[in-house]
Amino acid sequence: MDKFSDQKSAVQYLHPPIEPFDRRMMDVGDGHEIYVEQSGQPDGLPVVVLHGGPGGGCSPAMRRYFDPNIYRIILFDQRGCGRSRPHASVEANTTWHLVADIERIREALMIDDWIVFGGSWGATLALIYAQTHPDRARHLVLRGVFTMTQAELDWFYGGGAGRFWPETWARFQELVPEDERGDMIAAYNRRLFSGDRPQEIRFAKAWSAWENALATVQSNGAGGDSPPDYARAFARLENHYFINGGFLEYDGQIIDQIGKISHIPGTIVQGRYDMICPPAAAHTLAERWQNASLRMIPVAGHALSEPGISAELVKVMTRLAREG
C-alpha cells in the first residue's frame, strides 16, 4: 500500500536530488532479477529503503530523505515491480522470497547491519525482516504502519474506509457484481488474474485508483489514472499478497512476535488521519515494542509525501546520522 504523491508539497523538507553511483540487476533465482541502486556515500551509514505496495516500486524522491554526505542509500524494486523482471509476476513471489532478497542484497554489498526504512507495506516487510534477522537491523524507521492483519484488510477492502468515502467506494465496487461484493479482494483477484489483459488493466486501474484516492489528507476522492503497466503490477502484487494474508503463518503474527526485536530501537511516524493504514496499528505496535517511539503527525494521511510526515522522517534520519 503506497504511492509517492503530491511531491511538490514535501520537497521543501527533502535533501537535493542525487543520482546513484551504482545501479545493477541482481539475479535472485526463481527466474527473477531485481533492480538495486546505491547513492550517497559508498562508505557511509547504510540504510535500506523498503517501498510500499506490495508492487509500488521505488522512486528517485525516496533517496532524498537521507543526507547524501552521510548515508549510503540502498533502494531496490521488489520482485515483479518497477525495473525488476519479470514484470507483474507473482510466481515465486512471497514475503519470504522478499526477506531472502533483502539478505542477498546486504551480503552482496558487504554490509554487516543497516538502518531499515520502510513505509506502509514497506513497514510490514521491515518488521518481518527484522524478526527473521534480528542481528542485521540497527534501527527501524517505519511510516504508515500496516501489520498485515485481517482486521486491517477488512477496514480498507470491507467497507470501513468506504464509510468516509462512500462515492469513491461506490466506484470501486461498481465493477463487481453485487453478489461478489462481500469479498472484494477475491472478486478483484478473479479479474486481475483472468488472463484477459484488457480486463486485468481495467481492474488494476480501479484497484489503484481506490488506494490513491485515500492517500493524502487533502484528497478530493479522485484516484487518478495510473499508467497501465504500473497499475497492473501494483494491483496484481498487492492482491496476491493480501489474498494470501501476507504469507504469514497466522493472523496477528507480527505483533505477537514483537519480542524478537525488543532490543532493536524503532521510530514510528504515523499520520493521524491515515485512511489506508489507520493509527490503531501503529499505536498497538508502539505499546508492545518497548524500544520504539511513536510520532503521531496531527494533520496527515498515509502518503510518504505528506508534508508533516516528510518533515518528521528527515528529522529522524538527521538525528540517527548524528548518533551514527
pTM score, whole prediction: 0.96
Res 8: pLDDT: 52
Question: Is residue 17's pLDDT more than 70?
Answer: yes
Query: Which domains are assigned to the chain?
Result: 7-149+247-323 (3.40.50.1820), 151-246 (no CATH)
Tell me which of 32, 77, 302, 310 is the catalytic residue: 302
- Where does the pLDDT of residue 5 fall: very low under 50, low under 70, confident under 90, or very high at 90 and above? very low
Task: Assess whether 15 carries a catalytic annotation.
Answer: no
| Residues ≥6 apart with Cβ < 8 Å to 100 | 28
Res 324: pLDDT: 77
Concatenate the DSSP letters of all residues of 18-61 into one string: ---SEEEEEEEETTEEEEEEEEE-TTSEEEEEE-STTTT---GG
Tell me which of 84, 274, 305, 310 is the catalytic residue: 274
- Average pLDDT across the chain, whole number: 96
pLDDT tens digit sequence for 121-133: 999 999 999 999 9
pLDDT tens digit sequence for 241-265: 999 999 999 999 999 999 999 999 9
* 197-213 and 228-243 helices, crossing angle to 10°: 80
Strands 45-50 and 22-29, sheet pairing = unpaired
Q: Which three cell numbers mark 11?
A: 520537497
- Percent with pLDDT over 90 in the chain: 96
Question: Is residue 7's pLDDT more than 50?
Answer: no
- Where does the pLDDT of residue 224 fall: very low under 50, low under 70, confident under 90, or very high at 90 and above? confident
Query: What Å distances lie between residue 281 and 23, 86, 88, 163, 227, CA to CA?
Result: 35, 33, 29, 19, 31
Task: Assess whether 302 carries a catalytic annotation.
Answer: yes
Question: Is residue 164's pLDDT more than 50?
Answer: yes
- Region for residue 206 given its phi and psi (left: phi exceeds 0; alpha: psi -120 to 50; beta: otherwise): alpha
Q: Which three cell numbers mark 39?
A: 547513492
| Cα–Cα distance for residue pair 169/114, rounded to 1 Å | 40
Q: What share of the chain is helix, strand, coil (3-state, %, to 5)?
A: 45, 15, 40
Cβ-in-10-Å burial (0-12, 13-18, 19+) of 290 comes to exposed
With the C-alpha atoms ordered 147, 149, 151, 153, is the resulting torsion angle positive or negative? positive
Tell me which of 120, 208, 219, 305 is the catalytic residue: 120
pLDDT tens digit sequence for 269-310: 999 999 999 999 999 999 999 999 999 999 999 999 999 999
